[in-house]
Chain A
Amino acid sequence: MNYIDNILFAILLVVGVGFFVRNVKKLSRNIKLGKDIDRSDNSKERWKNMAMIALGQSKMVKRPVAGILHIIVYASFIIINIEVVEIVIDGLFGTHRVFSFLGGFYDVLIGSFEILAFLVLISVIIFWIRRMVVRIPRFWNKEMTSWPKNDALNILYFEMVLMSLFLIMNATDPAFQTFHLGNPISRFLVPLFSGFSEHSIHLIEQSAWWIHIIGIFIFLNYLYYSKHLHILLAFPNTFYANLNAKGKFNNLEAVTKEVQLMMDPNADPFAAPAEDENATPEKFGASDATDLNWVQLMNAYTCTECGRCTSSCPANITGKELSPRAIMMKTRDRIEEIGANIDKNGEFKEDGKQLLGDYITPEEIWACTSCNACVEECPVNIDPLSIILDMRRYLALEQSAAPQELNIMMTNIENNGAPWQYSQMDRLNWKDE
């Protein structure tokens, strides 16, 4: 017997899965470069959010056309992957359609896969048309050039090819075509191959089978480099997302301690600082990706660049530099760069760059109205606003680099308890006016 096919397949499987595991490790290492934040509370609500938002796609359908097409692709993707189990077993053991002993049930199963594959093909073609022909504006913002644009198209092409190969593989399997129930779509492709010899048809079937599974392994390993990572990260991302009211911005604990000390009448102003002398004082806010917490970094890897946030951002709508999507994309680019730096040098070697300044400009940061539209819109609960706020904190507290008008407003608050220059003693004057 000839075992070359099986051995080749086993190697393919090990390499494909091996590289994927390596990518997942790298991804996890990079996310853990972020600061710690406790999101272990309230697990019941977290599971519920994951079930509703990631699994149930509840926020996707708020834009119904894209939402429903997305559900078709997503549900089909998960279901069709059952077929991959059969492909792997066939590949390893040299069997052919090992599950076909299930009889009528197998027919129904593959039959539904065919219908789903066809629906995916149609949906993906509509996605392509929306992007390339209708040119929906959120796909054409200025951050969507070069790689981000090609990445989006690559994914669509990948899916088109994989689905077509699956259908061709079934159409060129004469034995399978006699099952009747299993081929609701592929039966219409059979006539395409009517002029071919039996041998050629077998060759086409074998090629489609191999290219299909190789394609799946390539796609699996493409994920790490792509916006498509959301198919995995949407789940932890919705689980660990902020559960508080959107208007609540966290209170910095380090600041609380200092303010309490300042306001404590019993505090000894000459007391020596209790802290370890070598401890570096905590940095306020964020200027680089590693100043962000791991949830914010996971947000960046989860972003699939759909642009719903940017299309609803009041600053972006009115032509400002700020785009919440670009904030997420730049954060990912920078943490990737830091990760690559660590891979190369064993530990992070100062590269003279920062997320704030080299990637994200203060102009973007100051254009935000903190309206939470981006947070509300995100189908997987990404929070661009929290990154913007952390950068404002860095600019205001570490650099004293808030815009001049804001400095005036803050001086007024300090001096007279209002953002404008009115005496606190006049606060009740309205009563008699």
Chain B
Amino acid sequence: MNVPTMAEMMAQGKQPEVLFWVGCAGSFDDRAKKITKAFVKILNKANVEFAVLGTEESCTGDPAKRAGNEFLFQMQAMTNIEVLNGYEIKKIVTACPHCFNTFKNEYPELGGKYEVYHHTEFLKSLLDEGRLTIEGGKFKGKKITFHDPCYLGRANDIYEAPRDLIQKLDSELVEMKRSRAKGLCCGAGGAQMFKDAEKGDKEINIERTDDALKTNPNIIATGCPFCNTMMTDGVKAANKENEIEVLDIAELIANAEDL
């Protein structure tokens, strides 16, 4: 696996086509690391000249902002912007819709203006440009349902890119009753990932997994490391982990080709 860092690129006097922002989940969470690697494999295969920040990367500040701590958010934002602008970054791709949303919507006013892509959009553009081919492979004919991450869907109106990619796998895309703009949250957003839920009669991820299970899928696909965790836990709670896989779109594409 070829994963150059910005520092290495700079030393060679090179500027990458795009910066891959890995994010905290993608760097540290065992499940999310698989998504990171799958995405890197695709980038390598499509010959995309990318780089990561590596140890120079730091939390975008999203969970702090959504927990009300505007100070911490802006501290993180301005530190990151200094690093990014220092490397003259123009284009960023990330597999985390929370990082994506923060870069796209909240950094520009603070001096961080970049072209920002969610990895599903980026993969879609590689496909459209003919730099990437997608084959169904082992997912041919499989029933896949897509869970819309709130920060990709409602927050930024991106609904089609992930669906277009699923359909390229020659698989059957089945929609949940609540999907697209009406999609139900997995329960992790707004910093909920890092705390127990308030008192209630059900966990949100169980409610959402029920939606997905009603479509009788072989695979629940999503495009967010936090949604992935929540849905995986939901599938386990329903004792369906042997029948149903929860996979990121990047994993679907990478696994289809045995990358």
Contact = CB atoms under 8 A, between A and B. Distances in A.
Given A321-B198, A420-B24, A430-B27, A409 B57 contact: no
Contacts of A418: 24, 27-28, 58-59
Interface stretch (A33-41, A162-170, A248-256): A248-256
B139 interface: no
A389 B5 CA distance: 36
B106 A363 contact: no
A370 interface: yes
Nearest to B198: A367
Contact of A259 (B27, B78, B109): B78
Given A402-B68, A422-B28, A315 B151 contact: no
A376 B33 contact: no
B139 to A, nearest CB: 24
Contacts, number: 221
Given A369-B189, A409-B194, A396 B67 contact: yes
Contacts of A46: none
Contacts of A263: 75, 78-79, 82
B202 A413 contact: no
Contact of B37 (A249, A376, A395, A430): A430
A368 interface: yes
B71 A314 contact: no
Which of the four size classes fits the interface of chain A?
Answer: 35 or more
Nearest to B105: A248
A173 to B, nearest CB: 49
Nearest to A408: B194
Given A251-B110, A409-B191, A314 B184 contact: yes
Contacts of A200: none
A276 interface: no
Those 6 A-B pairs whose CB atoms lie nearest each other, nearest first? A247-B155, A370-B190, A392-B68, A396-B68, A417-B58, A319-B201
Interface of A: 244-249, 251-252, 255-256, 258-260, 262-263, 284-285, 312, 314-315, 317-322, 363, 366-373, 375-376, 389, 391-397, 402-403, 405-406, 408-410, 413-414, 417-420, 422, 424-431, 433
Interface of B: 1, 3, 5, 22, 24, 26-29, 33, 36-37, 52-55, 57-59, 61, 63-72, 74-76, 78-79, 82, 101, 104-106, 109-110, 150-151, 154-157, 181-182, 184-185, 187-204, 207-208
